[in-house]
Amino acid sequence: MTEEPDISQEEQGKHKITREEIKLTGAELVEKVKELIHQGNIRRIVIKQEGRTVMELPLTVAAVGVVFAPVLAAVGAFAALVSNCSIVVERIEEE
């Protein structure tokens, strides 16, 4: 069950960084990460459980093609072990 995301913003040089926290179940985790990776404007995905960071996925356009399968395998293994978690998505927005 996905809840409404919490969103915050900060300025960093010419770019605006938007942080969005989404609460979801372990079963929804892999599909949501796949969807976010395909969006392309994601700087980093942080997966949390009970407020603790358990996985950080720094994403760059060049690295996405290389690490796509291993990242999803790791996220899938984690998702199989948890029932509820949240992800923090950092997006880069041009001004």
Q: How many angstroms separate the CA atoms of 8 and 13, rounded?
A: 17
Any domain includes 13: yes
The per-residue pLDDT string of the chain (95 residues; one tens digit each, 9 = 90 and over) reads 455 566 555 555 667 888 999 999 988 998 998 888 888 788 889 999 988 999 888 876 445 555 567 777 888 888 888 888 999 999 887 66
Tokens 């291993």, located at residue: 70
Any domain includes 60: yes
Any domain includes 1: no
b/e per residue, 15-24, with b = 16+ CB within 10 A? eebbbbebbb
Q: How many angstroms separate the CA atoms of 87 and 76, rounded?
A: 14
Q: Which domain holds residue 83?
A: 6-94
HSE-up of 50 (CA within 13 Å, CB side)? 2
The pLDDT assigned to 86 comes to 92
Its pTM stands at: 0.74
Any domain includes 77: yes
Provide the number of structural domains found in the chain. Answer: 1
Any domain includes 36: yes
